[in-house]
Chain A
Amino acid sequence: DAKTTQPPSMDCAEGRAANLPCNHSTISGNEYVYWYRQIHSQGPQYIIHGLKNNETNEMASLIITEDRKSSTLILPHATLRDTAVYYCIVRAPGGSQRNLIFGKGTKLSVKP
């Protein structure tokens, strides 16, 4: 079972920031938080991951709370092409936990 909880859907206006929350209250000390997204009928696309510090790349920012029990993915200027299902996943490196366990994700709809 997925170890994360996400809202099933969210809307965002084009050009505005999209803030996607994720709860992972049972996260272990060595588990990373990963974000992927899946645009309709395509393979999931890696976005970003982090352990405890906030992370930023060309696609998004990841804010992880100090207790690591929740995180927020931020798309700073959402476009229509960001409409997708976003998955938040916790994953430990190595061993049998290397497989990604996808939950139901958040369906983000970016509207003009």
Chain B
Amino acid sequence: KAGVTQTPRYLIKTRGQQVTLSCSPISGHRSVSWYQQTPGQGLQFLFEYFSETQRNKGNFPGRFSGRQFSNSRSEMNVSTLELGDSALYLCASSEGVRAEAFFGQGTRLTVV
């Protein structure tokens, strides 16, 4: 099975712009979660989707949003980018409620 695929791997954006990141889960996985990782804050949960519904959201401003499509692929969007949004954004997928999560390689976003 192919693993979790995140695109793009690297991205450079300017303050004030918006960005969309994509995640393709492992085939058959219906749950997708997003995380932000920075040197100062570590790995922080952004949100979780299951069957196209957002089940859980972390403590991030409304500039961060996401969605899941019927094929379980997910996107996250960050609007009005700030320098502090520079981070590694990770996507994880799992089969169901008790299953372990498998992570993608992440998208490295740099805001200049």
A-to-B contact residues, CB < 8 Å: 34, 36, 41-46, 49, 87, 93-94, 96, 98-104
Known: A43-B103, A49-B100. 7 other contacts (CB 8 A): A41-B106, A41-B108, A45-B103, A94-B97, A98-B56, A99-B33, A102-B35
User: What are the interface flags for B50-62 relative to A under an 8 Å C-beta threshold, 1 for contact and 0 otherwise?
Assistant: 0000011010000
By a CB distance below 8 angstroms, the chain A residues around B105 are: 42-43
**Is there an interface contact between B102 and A98, defined as CB atoms closer than 8 Å?**
no
For B43, the closest partner residue in chain A by CB is: A102
Contact of A44 among B90, B98, B108 (CB under 8 A): B90
**Is there an interface contact between A99 and B100, defined as CB atoms closer than 8 Å?**
no
**Is there an interface contact between B56 and A104, defined as CB atoms closer than 8 Å?**
no
For B45, the closest partner residue in chain A by CB is: A99
CA distance A103 to B43 in the complex (A): 8
**Is there an interface contact between A100 and B101, defined as CB atoms closer than 8 Å?**
yes
By a CB distance below 8 angstroms, the chain B residues around A34 are: 100
**Is there an interface contact between A43 and B4, defined as CB atoms closer than 8 Å?**
yes
Q: How far is the CB of A56 from chain B (nearest CB, A)?
A: 15
**Is there an interface contact between A43 and B101, defined as CB atoms closer than 8 Å?**
no
CA distance A102 to B58 in the complex (A): 13
